Structure 1
Amino acid sequence: MKHSMYKNLVTCAFPYANGEIHLGHLLEQIQADIWVRYLRLKGYSVIFLCADDAHGTAVMLKAKKMKISPNQLIHCMQKQHKNIFLKFSVFHDHYSSTHSKINKNLCSKIFNIILKKNFLKEKQIAQLYDIKLNMFLSDRFVKGTCPHCKSDNQYGDNCDVCGATYNATELLNVISQLSNSSPEIKFSNHIFFRLSIFSNFLKKWINSGVLQKSVLNKINEWVNSSLHSWNISRDHPYFGFKIPGYSDKFFYVWLDAPIGYISCFKELCNLRQDINFDEFWSLNSKHKLYHFIGKDIIYFHALFWPSILEGCNYRKPTKIFAHGYLTFKGIKLSKSKGSMISASQWLSHFDSDSLRYYFASKLSNTIEDIDMNLYDYAYKINADIVNNIINLASRNASFLEKYFDNILSNQFIESVLYKKFIDASVEIEDFFKDRKFSLVVQKIRNLADIANKYISQKQPWILIKNISNKNKVHNICSVGINLFKILMIFLKPIMPVLVSNAELFLNTSLMWKDISIPLLNHKINHFSCLYQRISFNDIDKFLEKI
Structure 2
Amino acid sequence: MKKVITSALIYANGPLHLGHLVEYIQTDIYSRSCKLQKQDAIYVCADDTHGTPIEINAMQMKITPEQLIDKFHKEHKEDFDKFFVAFDEYYTTNGTKNKEVVELIYKKVKENGYIYEKEIEATYCEHCKRFLPDRFVKGTCPICGAENQYGDTCEKCNSTYKPQDLRNSYCIVCGNTPILKKSKHFFFKLSALKDQIIEYFKRTKFQEEIKNYLLNWLNEGLKDWDISRDGPYFGFKIPDSDQYFYVWFDAPIGYIGSTKEYCDKNNLDWKDYWISKDSEIYHFIGKDIIYFHFLFWPAVLIAADFALPKHIQVHGFLNVNGQKMSKSRGTFITAKDFIERGGDPQYLRYYYAALLGNSINDFDFNDNDYRTIINSNLIGKFGNLVNRLSTFLLKNFDGKTDEDIEDIYNQFSLLKENYFDLLNNLEYRKAIELFQKYTDTANKYFQDNQPWQLLKTDKNKTLTILTTTLSMIKDLAICLYPIIPQYCEEIATQLNFIIDIDNIGKPLLNHKINSSNIIFKKIEDNFTIIKKPAISEVQIVAGKILEVDDHPNADKLYVLKIDIGSDIRTVVAGIKPYYTKDELINKNICLVANLKPANLKGIFSNGMILAASSKDGKVGVLTHNQKPGTKVVFENVDYPDSFEQISIDKFKELEIVSSGDNVFCFDNCLICGNEKVFADKKIAGKVS
Per the normalisation by structure 2, the TM-score is 0.72
Paired residue total? 531
For residues 162-311 of structure 1, the aligned pairs below 5 Å read 165-170=160-165, 178=172, 184=178, 186-189=180-183, 190-247=185-242, 249-273=243-267, 275-282=268-275, 284-311=276-303
What's the CA shift string for 1:392-436, capped at 9, x where partnerless? Answer: 1122222212211111122102x1x22222213322121111000
1:543 to 531, 542, 545: 531
2:432 to 433, 441, 458: 441
Q: Per chain length, whose mean CA-contact separation is higher, i.e. which structure has more relative contact order (CA < 8 Å, sep 6+)?
A: 1
Q: CA deviation at 1:214?
A: 1.6
1:62 to 57, 64, 77: 57
Structure 1 residues 531 and 132, CA, compared in 2 at 3 Å: closer, same or farther? farther
3-state secondary structure, aligned to 1:291: strand
Instruction: Give the share of equivalent positions with the same residue, in percent.
Output: 38
Counterpart of 2:318? 326
Counterpart of 1:3? none
What's the CA shift string for 1:287-339, capped at 9, x where partnerless? Answer: 1111111111111111111111111111111111111112224444489x997
1:453 to 444, 462, 482: 444
Note if contact 2:187-2:227 (Cα within 8 Å) is conserved in structure 1.
yes
Counterpart of 1:405? 398
Structure 1 residues 145 and 522, CA, compared in 2 at 3 Å: closer, same or farther? farther
| Equivalent-residue separation in structure 1 for 2:171 and 2:429 (angstroms) | 39
Q: Is the counterpart of residue 485 in structure 1 residue 474 in structure 2?
A: yes
Note if contact 2:228-2:244 (Cα within 8 Å) is conserved in structure 1.
yes
3-state secondary structure, aligned to 1:410: coil
Paired AA for residue 495 in structure 2: L
What's the CA shift string for 1:179-202, capped at 9, x where partnerless? Answer: 796965624422221210101111
Note if contact 2:474-2:497 (Cα within 8 Å) is conserved in structure 1.
no
Q: CA deviation at 1:158?
A: 5.2
Structure 1 residues 398 and 104, CA, compared in 2 at 3 Å: closer, same or farther? closer
Counterpart of 1:85? 80
Q: Is the counterpart of residue 422 in structure 1 residue 410 in structure 2?
A: no
3-state secondary structure, aligned to 1:46: strand
What's the CA shift string for 1:107-143, capped at 9, x where partnerless? Answer: 2333233334332233343455678866655445667
Q: CA deviation at 1:224?
A: 2.2
Greater mean deviation of Cα atoms: 503-512 or 445-454: 445-454
| Equivalent-residue separation in structure 2 for 1:377 and 1:182 (angstroms) | 50
Counterpart of 2:550? none
Note if contact 2:238-2:245 (Cα within 8 Å) is conserved in structure 1.
yes
3-state secondary structure, aligned to 1:207: helix
Paired AA for residue 383 in structure 1: S
Note if contact 1:234-1:250 (Cα within 8 Å) is conserved in structure 2.
yes
Counterpart of 2:18? 23
Structure 1 residues 422 and 138, CA, compared in 2 at 3 Å: closer, same or farther? farther
3-state secondary structure, aligned to 1:290: strand
Q: CA deviation at 1:144?
A: 7.4
Paired AA for residue 503 in structure 1: A
3-state secondary structure, aligned to 2:360: coil
Counterpart of 2:352? 359
| Equivalent-residue separation in structure 1 for 2:229 and 2:312 (angstroms) | 27
- Larger-gyration structure (1/2): 2
| Equivalent-residue separation in structure 2 for 1:364 and 1:58 (angstroms) | 33
3-state secondary structure, aligned to 2:42: strand
What's the CA shift string for 1:269-302, capped at 9, x where partnerless? Answer: 21112x32333332x5211111111111111111
Q: CA deviation at 1:246?
A: 2.7
Note if contact 1:192-1:232 (Cα within 8 Å) is conserved in structure 2.
yes
| Equivalent-residue separation in structure 1 for 2:331 and 2:162 (angstroms) | 25
Q: Is the counterpart of residue 528 in structure 1 residue 517 in structure 2?
A: yes
| Equivalent-residue separation in structure 2 for 1:43 and 1:148 (angstroms) | 51
Note if contact 1:124-1:187 (Cα within 8 Å) is conserved in structure 2.
no
Note if contact 1:325-1:370 (Cα within 8 Å) is conserved in structure 2.
yes
Counterpart of 1:9? 4
User: Which structure has the highest helix share of the two?
Assistant: 1
2:422 to 426, 431, 450: 431
Gaps of 5+ in 1: 1-5
| Equivalent-residue separation in structure 1 for 2:171 and 2:393 (angstroms) | 65
Counterpart of 1:350? 343
Counterpart of 1:33? 28
3-state secondary structure, aligned to 1:223: helix
Q: Is the counterpart of residue 341 in structure 1 residue 333 in structure 2?
A: yes
Paired AA for residue 254 in structure 2: G
Paired AA for residue 218 in structure 1: Y
Greater mean deviation of Cα atoms: 195-204 or 509-518: 509-518
Note if contact 1:293-1:321 (Cα within 8 Å) is conserved in structure 2.
yes
1:371 to 364, 367, 377: 364
| Equivalent-residue separation in structure 1 for 2:322 and 2:174 (angstroms) | 27
What's the CA shift string for 1:73-104, capped at 9, x where partnerless? Answer: 21222222222211111111111111112222
Note if contact 1:327-1:371 (Cα within 8 Å) is conserved in structure 2.
yes
3-state secondary structure, aligned to 1:538: coil
Paired AA for residue 191 in structure 1: F
Counterpart of 2:489? 500
Note if contact 2:367-2:527 (Cα within 8 Å) is conserved in structure 1.
no
1:388 to 358, 361, 381: 381
Gaps of 5+ in 2: 535-688
Paired AA for residue 201 in structure 2: I
